[in-house]
Structure 1
Amino acid sequence: MKTLTLIVLTLVMLTPFQKSMAQAEKKQQGAVLNHIAVYVTDLAKSTAFYKDVFDLEIIPEPFKDGKHTWFSIGPAGHLHLIQGAKAGVEHDKNEHLCFSVPSVDKFITLLNVKKIEFEDWAGTRKAVTLRVDGIKQVYFKDPDGHWLEVNDDHK
């Protein structure tokens, strides 16, 4: 009788664990970012810009047609530059790519050396935004006028 009671008690205790395991198995992984594509007018100029400013690694691209550059952007995936955009398109600051760096102050030094104008969110030249959570941000444009943010939310 003691053995039967022990078996029943063990089964009762394992039931919630089995239900939670079944629920965990049913839940599928959500989507993950594969790449971001940026349409550019001058592939060589934009490739040099992203490589030099962000120290991105160029990776092989499958098309080999001279119209694409692919960069690794770490666990987030890839950045694809694609030749063919029309010049003179105005881009809104709300639509931007953001890169995190260990030090915004050191990054600003790089921007100054490369003579790249930057501003805070409000548009004040050479200024830094300080978010309410203490993260520093600066904004600037790539050669095609796409807005870029750099912050120090580096983890």
Structure 2
Amino acid sequence: MRKLLSYCSVALLLTLGPGRAAWAQGPVALNHIALYVVDLQKSADFYKNVLLLPELPEPFKDGKHVWLRIGPHSQLHIIQGNKVQDHDINTHLAFSVKDLPKFMAHLDKLHVRYGSWKGEAGQTTPRPDGIKQIYLQDPDSFWLEVNDDKF
């Protein structure tokens, strides 16, 4: 019986391949994204008021952190202390909304600039799969995509 179990174990490992046995439990899941910002309050206000992200309790209680909910099991951690710098649009966070025109109207009401990938103000960019996207920047110039993906 021990020999049979040993052969089965070896066969399972060979089937999964080297290093894949750990993945049998499932892939990793996004826990949080941390953004290092210049002005904590300005950034927190932006994410709470523009993207409508709910604030969460954070354990540090040092005035340098704000935690926000970005998904059922994911968070955005905003951390005070960065210096002003530019960011490339290719590095961006992407969010989905149910109704992109309604969200665009929300941005218009708040006078938040947004546009297509090419920078055309108030315009969307269609992806090859039909999803529409807009791009905007937060107070620290981090790029954000908002799209109407229904995945």
TM score, norm. by length of structure 2? 0.82
Q: CA deviation at 1:30?
A: 1.8
1:102 aligns with 2:107: no
User: Which has the larger share of helix?
Assistant: 1
1:8-56 CA distance string (max 9 Å, x none): xxxxxxxxxxx99xx79x5132211110001111111111110011211
How much is the aligned-residue C-alpha RMSD, in angstroms?
Answer: 2.2
Structure 1 portions without partners, runs of 5+: 1-18
Paired-residue identity, %: 50
- The structure having more radius of gyration, on CA atoms, is 1
Distance 1:98 1:115 in 2: 20
Determine the structure 2 residue equivalent to 1:142.
138
* Alignment-derived partner of residue 7 in structure 2: none
Aligned residue pairs total 136
Query: Structure 1: which 4+ aligned runs deviate by more than 3 Å?
Result: none
For 1:44 and 1:154, the matched residues in 2 are separated by 31
Output the CA distance in 2 between the equivalents of 1:74 and 1:46: 19
Q: How far does residue 76 in structure 1 lie from its aligned partner after superposition?
A: 4.8
- Please list the CA deviations of residues 88-117 of structure 1 after superposition, one character each: whole Å capped at 9, or x if unmatched: x01000000111000111111011111111
Q: Which residue of 2 aligns with 1:44?
A: 41
Which of residues 57, 60, 64 is equivalent to 1:63? 60
